[in-house]
């Protein structure tokens, strides 16, 4: 049953027909790394288009990245994957205030290396 569920829910490259995980799918690719310039372009895009407007940011500023990559990097930048209260915001002062409020409300954000943040509520 678990194998059938994995095959149904996962894309073919992620697992093989036997249900074994294809570890190559989780290897870093060149485009997964963000340069300092790309990070600055993302922040510029947020300031211009607002949080959540990933397609506009990609189209106008970072065409080398996919919408999914931009969204994930935004989550990392904001320290959370629950960005509902940030959607549309362009003002980094307001964004910083919300991040501080979240920290003070008991949410703890732990950086796990460069790529992952763990949120403990």
Helices (H) and strands (E) in the chain, counts: 5, 2
- Which residues does 83 contact at the CB level (< 8 Å), separation at least 6? 51, 52, 74, 75
User: Looking at residue 28, what is its pLDDT?
Assistant: 43
Q: Which three-class secondary structure state does DSSP give residue 79?
A: coil
pLDDT tens-digit profile, the chain (121 residues) = 455 655 555 555 566 667 676 665 555 444 568 999 999 999 999 999 999 999 999 999 999 999 999 999 999 888 888 889 999 999 999 998 988 887 777 665 555 455 555 555 4
The 3-state secondary structure of 29-41 reads CHHHCCCHHHHHH
pTM exceeds 0.85, yes or no: no
For 14, the token pair is 């992620």
* Domains of the chain, each with CATH number or no CATH: 1-31 (no CATH), 33-120 (1.10.10)
């Amino acid at each position: 049953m678990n194998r059938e569920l994995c095959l149904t829910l996962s894309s073919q490259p992620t697992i093989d027909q036997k249900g074994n995980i294809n570890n190559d799918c989780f290897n870093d690719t060149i485009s997964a790394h963000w340069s300092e310039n790309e990070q600055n372009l993302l922040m510029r895009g947020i300031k211009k288009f607002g949080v959540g407007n990933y397609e506009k940011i990609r189209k106008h500023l970072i065409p080398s990245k996919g919408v999914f990559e931009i969204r994930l990097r935004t989550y990392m930048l904001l320290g959370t994957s629950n960005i509902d209260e940030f959607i549309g915001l362009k003002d980094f002062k307001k964004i910083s205030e919300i991040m501080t409020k979240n920290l003070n409300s008991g949410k703890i954000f732990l950086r796990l290396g460069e790529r992952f943040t763990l949120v403990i509520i």
